[in-house]
A and B are shown apart, each in its own frame.
Chain A
Amino acid sequence: MVLQSIWFFLWGLLWAIFFMTDGFDFGIGTLLPVLGKSEQDKRLMINAMGPLWDGNEVWLLTAGGVTFAAFPLVYATMFSSLYTALMLILFALILRGVAFEFRGQVESAAWRKTWDACIFVGSFAPALLFGVAFGNIFQGIPFDGDGIYQGNLLTLLNPYGILGGLLFLSLFLVHGCLWLAIKTEGDLHDRAVGLANKLWPVLVGVAVLFLVATAIFTPLYSNYLAQPALLLVLVGDVAALFGIKYFLRKAAYFKAWFASAGTIVLCTFFGVIGLFPNLFPSSINAEYSLSAFNASSSPLTLKIMLIVVIIFVPIVLVYQIWAYNLFNVKLKSEDLDLEEAY
């Protein structure tokens, strides 16, 4: 029980880190047509995440891999149920990743435009769809006792699912603006800050709607009612959300980005705690729901994987923080002259 519970929260943590890191990449990519007024702006935006996006995306692979290793039945049922949605996400990520590398390789406006479109779609679609997917998981997925999904892609596009998508999208857009504020100067910087200020109230509005809708559409609050102390997570999340605005006003963009990172992580945990112990609840019958206790791997596998994660995840964090630090300087236009720049 303890081991399975630990794995449940590790599972949540890995998804949270994925959203926190790749989230700002998704945000920047989605904003490419909005903030990227000139070719110079676009290149600055892409290069602002250039050294980091690939490492960020591995958190997705790790979250997926850990779901597979620790909760194979969840992995099997979740990804086959969400087949089309996940395929859309994967194709989006494929186009986005290739676009970064390919975009600057040919001197042709049409070539660049094509890949710009891939970056936009490849960022916007996952931002939205991950939110839709998690929204649906929070309220339950219509699958039967054999793990067979009784719906289609449109089933997922219900009001609460869409609201989840909008929440993720607005979180990532703010997160992306703040990263641009850190990495750029001058006009692009000012516009990124301006947009962050404009998007923040939107994010607050969507978050409030989401919290209210969560009470209506999902059972997530029952865990909180049973253990009111857990509401501190929600309080912390709201505090982080207001921290974004506070630091934005003080022009402390790095702190604002951290507050935004905290908002995303705590928001993920708000959902994960509410779900506990379910990982993939069924909306047809609660007995079909897959939980940390009925869908986990054997104790031996959980133990071995725990050792692996305890050793390697801190190491990964150390070298990723080192890499973030290395590139924690303002991008200058001469940085774009480098042959290696995107």
Chain B
Amino acid sequence: MDVVLLSRLQFAAATMFHFLFVPLTLGLSLLVAYMETKYVRTGDETYLRMTKFWGKLFLINFALGVVTGITLEFQFGTNWSRYSAYVGDIFGSLLAIEATAAFFLESTLIGVWIFGWKKLSAKAHATVMWLVAGAGNLSALWILLANGWMQHPVGYTIRNGRAELTDFAAVVFNKFGILQFLHVVPAAFVLSAFFVMGVSAYHLLKKQHIDFFTRSFRMALVLGLVSSIWVAVEGDQHAVHVTEVQPAKLAAMEGLWETQTRAPVVLVALPDEKNERNLIEFGRIPGLLSLLGYHDINAEVRGLKDFPKDERPPVLLTFLSFRVMVALGTLLPLLCIVGWFLRNRLVENPWFLRIMLFSIPLPYIAIQAGWVLAEVGRQPWIVYGMLKTADAASPVAASQVLTSLVAFIAVYGLLGLAGYYLIAKKVAQGPDMAESA
């Protein structure tokens, strides 16, 4: 295998593993901060126990998110040195700002939060958690602006054989990056909400700690309901922007081969890249794609055949990941809506609790599928329209990358096992009811 493919696989493994843990920390930190504030305001010990129980789960995820994040920053240098040299003027700045202006605060204060229960006043301690949550989400903004720039480069000129910054504001207010932030972070909230609801459902089904987990469930339900509806609505805007700036990705997402007006959405299909057609097509809704992409049923949408073969993304993977994301993105708000009507009778509806317990993995799958769509759909470009992935890898030996890829899979596999073992153990143990402040 060549260096480019190995490096792509390694980056995919490292980012996807990283993003198993990060989304939960983004939303759970907010919920924990809210629980602690409720405790400070009401003095109700249950809120303190909630803070500690969910806080523990947050910390395990946080640790895994942090350590796997460090490698990501350095992989641009180790594995994508030609990319780094070409776009570092812009891309590097965004990563540096993330570390300096956001991640520092989160990492410093998390230590204060863990060890500072007796050293700070209750109010100050809760404030620290809000700052941790805020800084974590601010980190996400800078990282998504960096990715947004790869998706839709702005504010630069090609000079001295590389991309150089000309307009910093354009980079920071890049519509693509902002839309991604408004999509990915709320999606992380959905994941967090389903995690809390699922874990709560587990205990409610066992009829233990009913008050504790009913409160947790309902708190998460509000977050899940609002953010899952938001993600769906915002996703529509996001798709419009993709239509505008990444037409090849849109065509692949929808398996659209021919340029046409009143372009259809095909619910189920099997794209056949070799013969440039779809093998099976089922549930064809004429005009829907034109409507979604341009908010105009008669608009013309460019098909894949309109793009040179070497500028098309892998169609099947892009098409399928989009379908998985959208299907789950439709299901999750529906589950939240059902939950909303059952919110006062959770224990009496074990069937619903069981559904919620087994729904924990769904937003994980949706988020991973979303990233596959964003990254695979951008191919063959590493920076859309500017630099091809094939020209971006480091001049290192394939054997080196193969070795590190194997090491990544082995180490991350073991860490994942250990991490989820611990999470499952803490979940099963439940809250410490004996403990008091």
Q: Cβ of B98: which chain A residues have Cβ within 8 Å of it?
A: 65
Give the distance in Å from the alpha carbon of A55 to the alpha carbon of B286 in the complex. 55
Q: Mark B76-118, 1 if CB is under 8 A from A, else 0.
A: 1111011011011111110111111101110111111011111
**For the complex, is B68 an interface residue (Cβ under 8 Å from A)?**
yes
Q: Is the CB of B111 within 8 A of A68?
A: no
Chain A min CB distance to B335 (Å)? 31
Q: Cβ of B78: which chain A residues have Cβ within 8 Å of it?
A: 79-80, 83, 86-87
Q: Cβ of A215: which chain B residues have Cβ within 8 Å of it?
A: none
Q: Is the CB of B112 within 8 A of A101?
A: no
Give the distance in Å from the alpha carbon of A62 to the alpha carbon of B425 in the complex. 35
Q: Is the CB of A54 within 8 A of B66?
A: yes
- Which A residue's beta carbon lies closest to that of B88? A72
Chain A min CB distance to B65 (Å)? 10
Give the distance in Å from the alpha carbon of A86 to the alpha carbon of B85 in the complex. 18
Given contacts A79-B78, A323-B112, contact A98 B63 (CB under 8 A): yes
Q: Is the CB of B84 within 8 A of A72?
A: yes
**For the complex, is A298 an interface residue (Cβ under 8 Å from B)?**
yes
Q: Is the CB of A61 within 8 A of B90?
A: no
Given contacts A83-B78, A308-B100, contact A97 B66 (CB under 8 A): yes
Q: Is the CB of A68 within 8 A of B95?
A: yes
- Which A residue's beta carbon lies closest to that of B52? A339
Q: Cβ of B396: which chain A residues have Cβ within 8 Å of it?
A: 80, 83, 149
Give the distance in Å from the alpha carbon of A65 to the alpha carbon of B93 in the complex. 7
Q: Cβ of A54: which chain B residues have Cβ within 8 Å of it?
A: 66, 107-108, 110-111
- Which B residue's beta carbon lies closest to that of A312? B100
- The stretch of A30-38, A199-207, A299-307 that contacts the partner chain: A299-307
Give the distance in Å from the alpha carbon of A53 to the alpha carbon of B67 in the complex. 12
Q: Is the CB of B164 within 8 A of A83?
A: no
**For the complex, is B64 an interface residue (Cβ under 8 Å from A)?**
yes
**Quick one: which of A79-124 are within 8 Å of B by CB?**
79-80, 83-84, 86-87, 90-91, 93-95, 97-98, 100-102, 105-106
B77, B117, B395, B411: which contacts A79 (Cβ < 8 A)? Answer: B77
Q: Cβ of A57: which chain B residues have Cβ within 8 Å of it?
A: 70, 107
Given contacts A68-B84, A79-B74, A94-B415, contact A304 B422 (CB under 8 A): no
Give the distance in Å from the alpha carbon of A50 to the alpha carbon of B403 in the complex. 32
Give the distance in Å from the alpha carbon of A87 to the alpha carbon of B164 in the complex. 29
A51, A73, A98: which contacts B85 (Cβ < 8 A)? Answer: A73
Q: Cβ of B114: which chain A residues have Cβ within 8 Å of it?
A: 50-51, 340
Given contacts A64-B73, A105-B425, contact A305 B84 (CB under 8 A): no
- Which B residue's beta carbon lies closest to that of A146? B395
- The stretch of A180-188, A190-198, A243-251, A313-321 that contacts the partner chain: A313-321
Q: Cβ of B93: which chain A residues have Cβ within 8 Å of it?
A: 69, 297, 301, 304-305, 308
Q: Cβ of B81: which chain A residues have Cβ within 8 Å of it?
A: 76-77, 79-80, 147
Q: Cβ of A319: which chain B residues have Cβ within 8 Å of it?
A: 105, 108-109
Q: How large is the interface on A (under 10, 10 to 19, 20 to 34, 35 or more residues)?
A: 35 or more
- Which A residue's beta carbon lies closest to that of B85? A76
Q: Is the CB of A58 within 8 A of B108?
A: yes
Chain B min CB distance to A182 (Å)? 16
Chain B min CB distance to A142 (Å)? 14
Chain B min CB distance to A270 (Å)? 25
B101, B104, B111, B432: which contacts A51 (Cβ < 8 A)? Answer: B111
Chain A min CB distance to B61 (Å)? 10
Give the distance in Å from the alpha carbon of A147 to the alpha carbon of B426 in the complex. 49
**For the complex, is B274 an interface residue (Cβ under 8 Å from A)?**
no
Chain A min CB distance to B50 (Å)? 14
Chain B min CB distance to A152 (Å)? 9
A105, A149, A308, A339: which contacts B96 (Cβ < 8 A)? Answer: A308
Q: Cβ of B42: which chain A residues have Cβ within 8 Å of it?
A: none
**For the complex, is A258 an interface residue (Cβ under 8 Å from B)?**
no
Give the distance in Å from the alpha carbon of A216 to the alpha carbon of B111 in the complex. 44
Q: Cβ of B82: which chain A residues have Cβ within 8 Å of it?
A: 76
Give the distance in Å from the alpha carbon of A83 to the alpha carbon of B160 in the complex. 26
Q: Cβ of B116: which chain A residues have Cβ within 8 Å of it?
A: 51, 326
Q: Mark A35-54, 1 if CB is under 8 A from B, else 0.
A: 00000000000010011111
Q: Is the CB of B407 within 8 A of A72?
A: no
- Which A residue's beta carbon lies closest to that of B108? A55
Q: Mark B160-171, 1 if CB is under 8 A from A, else 0.
A: 101011101000
Q: Cβ of B160: which chain A residues have Cβ within 8 Å of it?
A: 298
Q: Mark B17-61, 1 if CB is under 8 A from A, else 0.
A: 000000000000000000000000000000000001000000110
Given contacts A54-B108, A83-B78, A90-B74, contact A69 B92 (CB under 8 A): yes
Q: Cβ of A62: which chain B residues have Cβ within 8 Å of it?
A: 96, 99-100, 104
B100, B394, B404: which contacts A309 (Cβ < 8 A)? Answer: B100
Q: Is the CB of A76 within 8 A of B100?
A: no
Q: Is the CB of B96 within 8 A of A297?
A: no
**For the complex, is A242 an interface residue (Cβ under 8 Å from B)?**
no
Give the distance in Å from the alpha carbon of A78 to the alpha carbon of B88 in the complex. 14
Q: Cβ of B77: which chain A residues have Cβ within 8 Å of it?
A: 64, 68, 75-76, 78-80, 86
- The 7 A-B pairs at the shortest CB distance, nearest first, are namely A72-B88, A79-B77, A68-B92, A65-B96, A55-B108, A76-B81, A51-B111
List A residues at the B interface (Cβ < 8 Å).
47, 50-55, 57-58, 60-62, 64-70, 72-73, 75-80, 83-84, 86-87, 90-91, 93-95, 97-98, 100-102, 105-106, 146-149, 297-298, 300-301, 304-305, 308-309, 312-313, 316, 319-320, 323, 326-327, 338-341
Can you list 5 contacts pairing A with B, beta carbon distance less than 8 Å? Answer: A80-B77, A94-B71, A298-B89, A323-B112, A341-B115
Contacts A54-B111, A86-B74, A87-B78 supplied; 12 other A-B pairs, CB < 8 Å: A58-B99, A72-B162, A75-B76, A97-B70, A98-B63, A300-B166, A304-B168, A309-B100, A316-B100, A319-B108, A338-B118, A340-B117
List B residues at the A interface (Cβ < 8 Å).
52, 59-60, 62-64, 66-68, 70-71, 73-74, 76-79, 81-82, 84-85, 87-93, 95-101, 103-105, 107-112, 114-120, 159-160, 162, 164-166, 168, 394-396, 400, 403-404, 407, 411, 415, 418-419, 422, 425-426, 432, 435
